[in-house]
């Protein structure tokens, strides 16, 4: 569902994008169950589906903070109000408070910038104010192909120093798709690394011996926490936190519960909102709400015993990338919302949660026609997004009034 999908797949997805009225309210239906795919097994409550609301105008507006970026992918606001922005071809930039771009930061690891690969996410160490450490996820080539890796280094001026690769997805595989990846620090200081199934290798998402299609949990130095669910199992990667994921390009920590939430790409339909829990299996490619780009069925259906249901799913897709929990006051009525970037059809998606379920979905900024790749909140309470194109921008999102 990224830019490298075939033209035919893009047309199929676009044809499916019929929009419901603006501001459609989602009413959770807890009575829908699935027993058809696995007769004789306990029925499961199916996930709630997005009503595909149209884009709302007149509530928020976008203004350009920085421009001249090439396929920006991740953004992280620094404590002094500047921002770090990754460019997928392999550059890290610093955006000054006035929007001026720095020269590329030196010391960034070499990346595999082919297909969907390249320099991906950026995150600050929880102790950044004192240690200056930042973390980068990226596609890295090596024996067998390429895979998702994570490096950390100390930001000094316009340079990264003492750079170390602390995690490498194994095995490395051929193909240019589905690297993930987002980086999220938990409250206990552990680092979540979201990944993809590498597209042509989707069955590996169910194989605990392989790194594809997993959310990983590591210590900041790359070592494995002793309380990870599969630590000590010789047949499993010890970094695994959860598995059965397709391509997770959006992740954030809930500001109240501290729980990890993610949004992952489905195929043709089936984008999913999840909160990955310790050791659980999220089903891909055995269960899914999507079908293949050809229209062919994937897996066994939408539910199976021992596999988790998503909290919510989109069909047609939003092609999700980047998310945050909005915990500020600058945009009235949005506090507590989940904010997600959409690549296709392109929008800012806002969800309201009640008791862990989506009760409302709204969409904004569809009129811009931009692929929103990442989303964050600045110290001013406004939302900042990056737009994924060869003429990429950082946009500041603020209320129309105020």
Cα gap 289→48, rounded to integer Å:
11
pLDDT tens for the chain, 402 residues long, are 333 333 333 333 333 333 344 554 453 454 455 544 444 445 678 999 999 999 999 999 999 999 999 999 999 999 999 999 999 999 999 999 999 999 999 999 999 999 999 999 999 999 999 999 999 999 999 999 999 999 999 999 999 999 999 999 999 999 999 999 999 999 999 999 999 999 999 999 999 999 999 999 999 999 999 999 999 999 999 999 999 999 999 999 999 999 999 999 999 999 999 999 999 999 999 999 999 999 999 999 999 999 999 999 999 999 999 999 999 999 999 999 999 999 999 999 999 999 999 999 999 999 999 999 999 999 999 999 999 999 999 999 999 986
User: 178, 245, 254, 275: which one is catalytic?
Assistant: 178
pLDDT on residue 8: 37
φ/ψ region of 95 (left if φ > 0, alpha if ψ in -120 to 50, else beta) reads: beta
pLDDT on residue 194: 98
Cα gap 177→114, rounded to integer Å:
9
pLDDT on residue 35: 43
pLDDT on residue 34: 53
pLDDT on residue 401: 85
pTM, two decimal places: 0.91
Please answer whether residues 247 and 265 qualify as being in contact, where contact means their C-beta atoms are separated by less than 8 angstroms: yes
Cα gap 86→193, rounded to integer Å:
17
- Closest Cα to residue 194, out of 176, 177, 209, 180? 180
pLDDT on residue 44: 75
178 annotated active-site? yes
């Amino acid at each position: 569902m990224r830019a490298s999908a075939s033209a035919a797949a893009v047309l199929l997805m676009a044809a499916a994008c019929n929009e419901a009225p603006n501001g459609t309210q989602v009413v959770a239906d807890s009575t829908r169950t699935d027993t058809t795919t696995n007769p004789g097994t306990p029925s499961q409550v199916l996930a709630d589906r997005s009503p595909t609301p149209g884009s709302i105008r007149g509530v928020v507006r976008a203004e350009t903070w920085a421009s001249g970026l090439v396929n920006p992918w991740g953004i992280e606001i620094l404590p002094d109000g500047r921002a770090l922005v990754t460019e997928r071809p392999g550059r890290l930039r610093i955006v000054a408070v006035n929007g001026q771009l720095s020269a590329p930061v030196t010391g960034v690891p070499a990346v595999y910038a082919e297909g969907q690969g390249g320099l991906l996410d950026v995150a600050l160490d929880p102790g950044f104010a004192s240690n200056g450490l930042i973390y980068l996820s990226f596609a890295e080539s090596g024996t067998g192909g390429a895979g998702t890796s994570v490096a950390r280094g100390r930001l000094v001026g316009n340079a990264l120093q003492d750079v170390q690769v602390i995690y490498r997805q194994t095995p490395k595989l051929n193909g240019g798709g589905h690297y993930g990846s987002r980086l999220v620090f938990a409250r206990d200081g552990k680092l979540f690394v979201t990944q993809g199934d590498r597209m042509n290798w989707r069955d590996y998402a169910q194989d605990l011996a392989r790194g594809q299609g997993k959310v990983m949990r590591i210590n900041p130095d790359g070592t494995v926490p002793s309380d990870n669910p599969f630590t000590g199992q010789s047949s499993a990667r010890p970094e695994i936190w959860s598995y059965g994921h397709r391509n997770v390009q959006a992740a954030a920590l809930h500001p109240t519960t501290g729980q990890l939430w993610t949004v992952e790409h489905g195929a043709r339909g089936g984008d999913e909102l999840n909160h990955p829990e310790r050791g659980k299996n999220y089903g891909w490619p055995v269960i899914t709400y999507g079908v293949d780009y050809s229209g062919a069925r994937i897996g066994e259906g939408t539910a199976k015993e021992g596999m988790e249901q998503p909290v919510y799913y989109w069909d047609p897709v939003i092609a999700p990338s980047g998310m945050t929990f909005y915990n500020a006051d600058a945009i009235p009525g949005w506090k507590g919302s989940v904010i997600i970037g959409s690549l296709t059809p392109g929008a800012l998606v806002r969800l309201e949660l009640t008791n862990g379920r989506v009760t409302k979905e709204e969409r904004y900024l569809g009129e811009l026609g931009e692929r929103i790749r990442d989303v964050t909140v600045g110290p001013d309470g406004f939302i900042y997004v990056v737009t994924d194109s060869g003429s990429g921008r950082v946009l500041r999102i603020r209320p129309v009034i105020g």
